[in-house]
């Protein structure tokens, strides 16, 4: 079913919107959540929470891209769950990815930056990612949005793991320089 029709179903409070969303996006949402949580039961619970959050947020929101909208919701829920449980169990892949990004992006959640600073950083990141060559952008997004492993990215794009690592390293360096030129201090 077309995303616009599914969003319209949400807007009309038609419960079939949840069934259609699950049918179309369960695999996608599970992929995102599992990369962060690494546990099937936690992934399933997170995805179900994302469906509920989507139901509760449309309306008033009316997303242009349902895929991006629900992807962001499930990612945020999974990261929140990960943060609340990381004292009990630690997913080293998530820690490694977050540590990699900390080299290039300032942590706006803990350094007292304003909403304006956060929006400026968001705009700069979108501009940077949009300026990358397609292959580099795909690798960067897979690693830092979907939290995919180096091995998985290499396999999916038919590249060596070292090529993926070097691409990510150079892209983080380019990002750090881009943010410096934009006046965003790391």
Identify the structural domains of the chain with CATH numbers, from first to last: 3-85 (1.10.1740.10), 92-181 (1.10.10.10)
Q: What's the average pLDDT block by block, 10 residues per block, for the chain (186 residues)?
A: 95 96 97 93 96 95 95 94 69 70 62 61 87 96 91 96 96 91 77
CA 100 to mean position of chain CA atoms = 15
Token pair recorded at residue 69: 């909208």
Question: How confident is the model at residue 165, as a pLDDT?
Answer: 96
* Per-position b or e across 34-68, b if 16+ CB within 10 A of its CB: bbbbbbeebbbbbbbbbbeebeeebeeeebeebee
CB 92 within 8 A of CB 50: no
Question: How confident is the model at residue 65, as a pLDDT?
Answer: 94
Question: How confident is the model at residue 134, as a pLDDT?
Answer: 96
Question: How confident is the model at residue 109, as a pLDDT?
Answer: 53
Give SS3 for 90. coil
CA dist 99 and 163 (Å) reads 20
Question: How confident is the model at residue 119, as a pLDDT?
Answer: 74
């Amino acid at each position: 079913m077309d995303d616009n029709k599914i969003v319209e179903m949400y807007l009309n409070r038609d419960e079939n919107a949840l069934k259609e969303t699950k049918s179309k996006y369960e695999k996608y949402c599970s992929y995102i959540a599992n990369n962060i949580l690494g546990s099937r039961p936690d992934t399933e619970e997170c995805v179900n929470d994302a469906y509920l959050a989507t139901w509760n947020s449309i309306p008033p929101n009316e997303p242009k891209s349902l895929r991006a909208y629900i992807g962001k919701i499930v990612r945020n829920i999974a990261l929140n769950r990960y943060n609340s449980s990381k004292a009990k169990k630690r997913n080293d892949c998530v820690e490694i990815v977050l540590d990699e990004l900390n080299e290039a992006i300032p942590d706006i959640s803990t350094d007292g930056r304003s909403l304006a600073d956060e929006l400026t950083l968001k705009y700069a990141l979108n501009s940077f990612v949009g300026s990358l060559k397609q292959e580099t952008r795909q690798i960067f997004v897979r690693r830092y949005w979907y939290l995919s492993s180096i091995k998985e990215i290499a396999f999916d794009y038919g590249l060596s793991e070292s090529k993926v690592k070097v691409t990510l390293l150079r892209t983080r360096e380019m990002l750090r320089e881009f943010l410096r030129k934009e006046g965003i201090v790391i």
